Amino acid sequence: MNAQSSPTGSALDAYWMPFTANRQFKDKPRMLARASGMYYETTDGRKILDGVAGLWCVNAGHGRREITAAVAKQLEVMDYAPPFQMGHPDAFALAGELVKIAPAGLAHVFFTNSGSESVDTALKIALAYHRAKGDAARVRLLGRERGYHGVGFGGISVGGMTANRKAWPAAMIPGVDHLRHTHDLARNAFSRGLPAHGVELADDLERLVSLHDASTIAAVIVEPIAGSTGVVLPPKGYLQRLRAICDRHGILLIFDEVITGFGRTGSPFAAQEFGVTPDIITCAKGLTNGAIPMGAVLVSKKIYDTFMQGPAGIELFHGYTYSAHPAACAAGLATLAIYQQEGLLTRAKQMAPAFENAVHGLRGLPHVIDVRNYGLVAGIELDPIPGAPGKRAFDIYLKCFEQGLLIRTTGDIIALSPALIIEQKHIDELLGILSCALQ
Ligand SMILES: Cc1ncc(COP(=O)(O)O)c(C=O)c1O
C-alpha cells in the first residue's frame, strides 16, 4: 500500500476533464497514482486490475522500464528536433520498423501525435493524392454510422456519432456521407469471433457510389473493429467486399487501426488478421505503449510515389511541431522491440480462446443482451434502463472500480481490451469481478 495525497474540493476545479462527467467525478473522484503490469494503484492504495489497457493503448502492460529508460536517455541527449526540413535518426528508424510489421505495400509513414491527428492527416492525404494525380473532383469522404475517428473536424465528420452531429452541426466538413453500420443484434447476438450475417452491408458503398458518382469520392474510412462506439465487429467477408468495391471505383480505403493496431486482434494490424490491405492505415495508442503521445499514418507506395513525382519542393503541406518527437520515437522503438521480443503482436491469438470462453460465460446474467469478441477485445451489451440510456453500464463501471477492476463503457456497452500480457489468472479475476457486478 502506497497511499498518496489526492486533491479534493476546490483543488479539483481548474482541470476541465475530457469526455468526463466533471461534476459527478469531482463529487467522488477516482484517482490513479501508479501502475505496473496488469494493475493500477489508486491514491488511497487500492489495487485495480486494468481491463482496458489504460485506454486501449498499454498493450505491453504498465511500467515497462525499457521504455522509460529509452525516453529518459533520449531527452538527455536531445530534447527536441524540428521535424520540418530537419531529421533525426530515430524518426527514420521507427518508420522503418513500422513498415516491417505493416501489411506488405504500406511502405511509408507520416508521424502525428494522436489518433485524431492521424485520422485528419489520412483524410488530407487522400484528398491531396487525387488532386496530385489530376483527379481533383474526388472531394467526398465516406465514413460509417457508429464510426469513431477522434475529435478533429475531419474525424467527427466522417465519424458516425450522433452526439458530435448534435453539438457541432455546422462544423461538419462538406461532401461527407456514411455507410450503414454493421451492428445487428437480431441476427448476430452472442457471436464468437466475426459475426456470420451482414456481408451485404458492404454493398451500401455501391449505393453511395450510385448516388454521388465514383468520380466525386476520394476515400472511405472504417475501423476494422469499431471500439469506441461499443465493439462492433465486421461481418465475415464484409471488409473484403469493401476492398473490392473501392478497387472497382478508384476509391481509397482507409483502415482506422487506432485501437486494432499493435496486436489487439492477434496480428500486428487487423488488416493482416482479416486479410484485407487498405491504402492507408491510421494508428496511435499501442505505438508507444501509451507512454508518450504519438500517432502514425501508413500509406501505400502508390500514394507516396504519386506525391514524389510532383513539382520539386514541399510535397505535402502538412505536419505538426511534434511530428516524430525524439522522445516519442525512442518510446516507439523500445515498445516495438518489446512487442517483438515477447511475441505480443500475435499473443492475442493464443489467449483468445480462454478470453472468449470467459466472456461468453456472462451470457444469461441479468440484462446481458449480447456478448461479442475477437482477439483480446470483447463487448458486453446490456439492456438499457428505460429513459436512462447508459446508466446501467455506468453503474456497473462504478461497481467494478469499487471492487478493483477498470472497464470502459460506452452507452450500455461494456468494452474489455486488456493488455496483451494477460494471463489466465487475470482473466479469472476480471470476469469474477465483472460477473459479480452484473449479478
Ligand atoms: C478508431 C479510433 N480512431 C481515432 C481515435 C482518436 O484517438 P486519440 O484519442 O488519440 O485522438 C480513437 C480513440 O479511441 C479511436 O478508437
pLDDT at 155: 98
Grid cell locating 176 = 461527407
The label of the residue with cell 470467459 reads 358
Ligand 1 centroid to 340 CA: how many Å? 24
Domain 68-342 sits in CATH at 3.40.640.10
Contact by Cβ (8 Å): 284, 114 = yes
Q: What is the atom index within ligand 1 of the atom nearest the CA of 115?
A: 7
pLDDT at 1: 45
Ligand 1 centroid to 259 CA: how many Å? 7
Nearest to residue 225, comparing CAs of 217, 235, 237, 216? Answer: 235
Q: What is the distance between the alpha carbons of residues 338 and 421, in angstroms, rounded to a whole number?
A: 11
Domain 9-63+343-438 class, CATH top level:
alpha beta
Pocket test for ligand 1, best of 119, 282, 287, 410 (most atoms within 8 A of CB): 119
Nearest to residue 159, comparing CAs of 139, 174, 176? Answer: 176
DSSP 192-219: SSS-SS-GGGGGHHHHHHHHH-GGGEEE
Ligand 1 centroid to 161 CA: how many Å? 13
Torsions phi, psi for 124 (to 5 deg): -65, -40
Q: What is the atom index within ligand 1 of the atom nearest the CA of 285?
A: 10
Grid cell locating 57 = 493503448
**Which residues form the pocket of ligand 1, taking CB atoms under 6 Å from any ligand atom?**
114-116, 119, 148-150, 223, 227-228, 256, 258-259, 284
Q: Which residues are CB-contacts of 311 (< 8 A; sequence separation ≥ 6)?
A: none
Q: Where are the beta strands (DSSP E) in 140-284?
A: 140-144, 176-179, 217-222, 252-256, 280-283
pLDDT at 135: 96
The label of the residue with cell 496488469 reads 38
Ligand 1 centroid to 3 CA: how many Å? 32
Ligand 1 centroid to 327 CA: how many Å? 21
Measured by CA distance, the residue closest to atom 3 of ligand 1 is 149
C-alpha dihedral sign at 104, 110, 115, 117: negative
pLDDT at 52: 98
Contact by Cβ (8 Å): 65, 74 = no
Q: What is the atom index within ligand 1 of the atom nearest the CA of 147?
A: 1
Ligand 1 centroid to 329 CA: how many Å? 19
Ligand 1 centroid to 297 CA: how many Å? 13
Q: What is the atom index within ligand 1 of the atom nearest the CA of 228?
A: 16
pLDDT at 3: 60
The 3-class secondary structure across 120-140, one letter per residue, is HHHHHHHHHHHHHCCCCCCCE
Nearest to residue 351, comparing CAs of 376, 377, 380? Answer: 376
Ligand 1 centroid to 313 CA: how many Å? 32
| Other C-beta atoms lying within 10 Å of the C-beta of residue 14 | 7
Ligand 1 centroid to 269 CA: how many Å? 15
Measured by CA distance, the residue closest to atom 8 of ligand 1 is 115
Cα end-to-end distance, the chain, whole Å: 29
Report domain extents, the chain: 9-63+343-438, 68-342
Measured by CA distance, the residue closest to atom 14 of ligand 1 is 228
Pocket test for ligand 1, best of 55, 59, 116 (most atoms within 8 A of CB): 116
Angle between helices 344-360 and 424-438 (to 10 degrees): 40
Ligand 1 centroid to 199 CA: how many Å? 25
What are the C-alpha distances in Å from 222 to residues 208, 235, 238, 284, 430?
15, 13, 11, 15, 30
Q: What is the atom index within ligand 1 of the atom nearest the CA of 155?
A: 4
Q: What is the atom index within ligand 1 of the atom nearest the CA of 256?
A: 1
Pocket test for ligand 1, best of 120, 222, 228, 320 (most atoms within 8 A of CB): 228
Measured by CA distance, the residue closest to atom 7 of ligand 1 is 115
Pocket test for ligand 1, best of 222, 285, 410 (most atoms within 8 A of CB): 285
Q: What is the distance between the alpha carbons of residues 297 and 299, in angstroms, rounded to a whole number?
A: 6
pLDDT tens sequence for the chain (439 residues): 456 789 999 999 999 999 999 999 999 999 999 999 999 999 999 999 999 999 999 999 999 999 999 999 999 999 999 999 999 999 999 999 999 999 999 999 999 999 999 999 999 999 999 999 999 999 999 999 999 999 999 999 999 999 999 999 999 999 999 999 999 999 999 999 999 999 999 999 999 999 999 999 999 999 999 999 999 999 999 999 999 999 999 999 999 999 999 999 999 999 999 999 999 999 999 999 999 999 999 999 999 999 999 889 999 999 999 999 999 999 999 999 999 999 999 999 999 999 999 999 999 999 999 999 999 999 999 999 999 999 999 999 999 999 999 999 999 999 999 999 999 999 999 999 999 999 9
Measured by CA distance, the residue closest to atom 12 of ligand 1 is 150
Ligand 1 centroid to 56 CA: how many Å? 9
Ligand 1 centroid to 382 CA: how many Å? 24
